[in-house]
A = this chain, B = another copy of it.
Amino acid sequence: MPVFLPKEPTRSQLSLTAILYALSDEVRLGIVRQLAAEGEQPCGVFEVDRPKSSLSHHFRVLRESGVVSTRKEGKNLLNTLRRKDLDARFPGLLKAILR
């Protein structure tokens, strides 16, 4: 069984509807807002009233839609907002959503 497969879309694979869908959930939008404000962060720091497996699900949706990128750093996974890619493909979108 595979352990961890990123499966993040490339910049040119980004889909607007998939991104809008990912951001249409309060929990996920909250995560994205926090990433925008604080920068790279491990999954564990997000204070969400949900068990880990649920949080993990939401991170997956964010990754698969290309909103967030995740890299491994020792024991944890560090998440970042894919600002550059998002701005390149959909200028102004992130700014409008995060304001």
Contact = CB atoms under 8 A, between A and B. Distances in A.
Q: How large is the interface on A (under 10, 10 to 19, 20 to 34, 35 or more residues)?
A: 10 to 19
Contacts of A29: 16-17, 20
A34 B14 CA distance: 22
A85 to B, nearest CB: 14
A57 to B, nearest CB: 17
Interface stretch (A36-44, A45-53, A75-83, A87-95): A87-95
Which DSSP category, helix, strand, loop or mixed, fits chain A's interface? helix
15 contacts: A16-B29, A17-B25, A17-B26, A17-B29, A18-B24, A20-B20, A20-B23, A20-B97, A21-B24, A24-B24, A90-B96, A91-B96, A92-B99, A93-B93, A93-B96
Given A20-B21, A20-B97, A91-B99, 9 more contacts: A16-B29, A17-B24, A17-B26, A17-B29, A18-B24, A21-B24, A24-B24, A91-B96, A92-B92
